[in-house]
């Protein structure tokens, strides 16, 4: 497991997929624009978890998050009463996005800052164009105000359930987040402090997960091993523990007939393993 994987796991995003290469390419690219990541994937909130964990793993002193599905006003936003100028023209209120962008620009002047814009598909399409113009020019404009973002300090992460405006996409580094960990990982008894005689159980589990088409993370596997040592006695028990601890598992496949021989093989291996334990004791 890479250092980035370990740090992201500490901040709530554990995955067998290692994003170290993506991050290295993103930050080393010779750009004059504001560095921007477009985080794509099937499950919306897993992408959100990835963005927040990556921001914290990179140890940026400033992380600003805004969700376009928010209904309430932003905390700390300056509220202006409706006013008119001396000619009777109505003054325009500061929008939530303008407030967020103002905050990001201000912080980027002195600190490395990450701005996460979530649920971007819910925003007015004009904001996609404004974001593109900001990324290219480093300038955010509203109500006759012009603010500058520092390209040396500011990173933007965009999350949308729908394709971005074409120019905005072209100016972003696109990264795909799998619904579940796509990388198959081979675990060994010594990885979890077990003796070699636990290998048949882990081999049977490996065949089971291969049939399920996924691979548990290390923490998920550790919890499953705990249940094997303390609770699992039947195939039904195994089903419950698999569903409880393994993210992205398909319950229909879990209950399907083709999986039954693999479940039985795991239970037989567990019984042999635990009986050997009892004999030794």
pLDDT-derived band at 232 (thresholds 50, 70, 90) equals: very high
The whole-angstrom separation of Cα 26 and Cα 58 is 13
The pTM score is 0.79
Residues 18 and 147 in one domain: yes
Q: Does residue 44 belong to any structural domain of this protein? A: yes
Q: Does residue 59 belong to any structural domain of this protein? A: yes
Residues 170 and 72 in one domain: yes
Say how many domains are in the chain: 2
Residues 202 and 153 in one domain: no
Residues 164 and 227 in one domain: no
Q: Does residue 195 belong to any structural domain of this protein? A: yes
Residues 133 and 255 in one domain: no
Per residue, the 3-state secondary structure of 68-80, as one string, reads: CCCCCCCCCCCCC
pLDDT-derived band at 247 (thresholds 50, 70, 90) equals: confident
Residues of the domain holding 238: 189-280
Residues 143 and 264 in one domain: no
Per-residue pLDDT, averaged over 203-229, amounts to 93
Q: Does residue 184 belong to any structural domain of this protein? A: no
Both tokens of 181, joined, read 């960990």
Tens digit of pLDDT for each residue in 34-53? Answer: 999 999 997 668 999 999 99
Of all residues in the chain, the percent with pLDDT exceeding 90 is 75
Per-residue pLDDT, averaged over 221-240, amounts to 96
Whether residue 201 contacts residue 273, with contact meaning beta carbons closer than 8 Å, is answered with yes
**CATH number, position 161:** 3.40.50.300
Asked whether the predicted pLDDT for residue 81 surpasses 70, the reply is: no
Both tokens of 93, joined, read 């209120």
The pLDDT value given to residue 278:
54
The whole-angstrom separation of Cα 142 and Cα 127 is 12
Q: Give residues with Cβ within 8 angstroms of 13, minimum separation 6.
A: 49, 50, 52, 53, 54
Residues 252 and 120 in one domain: no
Of all residues in the chain, the percent with pLDDT exceeding 70 is 88
The whole-angstrom separation of Cα 194 and Cα 191 is 7
Q: Does residue 47 belong to any structural domain of this protein? A: yes
Residues 194 and 158 in one domain: no
- Judge residue 140's burial from the number of C-beta atoms within 10 Å of its C-beta, 0-12 exposed, 13-18 middle, 19 or more buried: buried
Q: Does residue 261 belong to any structural domain of this protein? A: yes
Residues 148 and 56 in one domain: yes
The pLDDT value given to residue 79:
46
Residue at a domain's end among 157, 177, 197 = 177
- The more confidently predicted of residues 179 and 126 is 126
What does residue 66 show for φ and ψ, rounded to 5 degrees? -140, 130
Residues 139 and 239 in one domain: no
Q: Does residue 240 belong to any structural domain of this protein? A: yes
Residues 117 and 31 in one domain: yes
Residues 9 and 126 in one domain: yes
pLDDT-derived band at 58 (thresholds 50, 70, 90) equals: very high
Segment among 1-5, 23-27, 257-261, 277-281 with least mean pLDDT: 277-281
pLDDT-derived band at 77 (thresholds 50, 70, 90) equals: low
The pLDDT value given to residue 91:
58
Tens digit of pLDDT for each residue in 86-113? Answer: 555 555 678 899 999 999 999 999 999 9
């Amino acid at each position: 497991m890479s250092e980035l994987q370990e740090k992201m796991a500490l901040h709530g995003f554990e995955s067998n997929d290692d994003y170290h290469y993506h991050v290295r390419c993103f930050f080393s690219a010779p750009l004059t624009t504001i560095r921007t990541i477009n985080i794509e994937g099937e499950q919306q909130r897993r992408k959100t978890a990835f963005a927040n964990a990556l921001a914290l793993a990179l140890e940026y002193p400033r992380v600003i998050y805004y969700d376009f599905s928010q209904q309430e006003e932003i905390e700390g936003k300056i509220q202006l009463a409706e006013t008119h100028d001396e000619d009777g023209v109505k003054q325009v209120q500061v929008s939530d996005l303008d407030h967020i962008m103002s905050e990001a620009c201000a912080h980027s002047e002195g600190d490395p800052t990450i701005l996460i814009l979530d649920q971007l598909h819910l925003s007015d399409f004009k904001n996609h164009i404004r974001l593109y113009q900001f990324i290219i020019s480093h300038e955010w404009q509203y109500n006759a105000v012009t603010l500058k973002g520092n390209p040396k300090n500011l990173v933007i992460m965009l999350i949308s359930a729908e394709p971005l405006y074409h120019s905005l996409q072209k100016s972003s580094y696109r990264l795909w987040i799998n619904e579940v960990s796509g990388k198959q990982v081979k675990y060994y008894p010594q990885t979890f402090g077990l003796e070699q005689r636990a290998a048949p159980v882990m081999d049977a589990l490996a065949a089971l997960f291969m049939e399920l088409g996924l691979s548990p993370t290390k923490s998920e596997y550790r919890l499953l091993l705990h249940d094997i040592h303390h609770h699992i006695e039947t195939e039904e028990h195994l089903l419950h523990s698999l569903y409880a601890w393994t993210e992205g598992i398909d319950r229909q496949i879990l209950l399907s007939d083709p999986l039954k021989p693999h479940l039985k093989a795991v239970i037989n291996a567990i019984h042999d393993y635990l009986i050997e334990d009892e004999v030794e004791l």
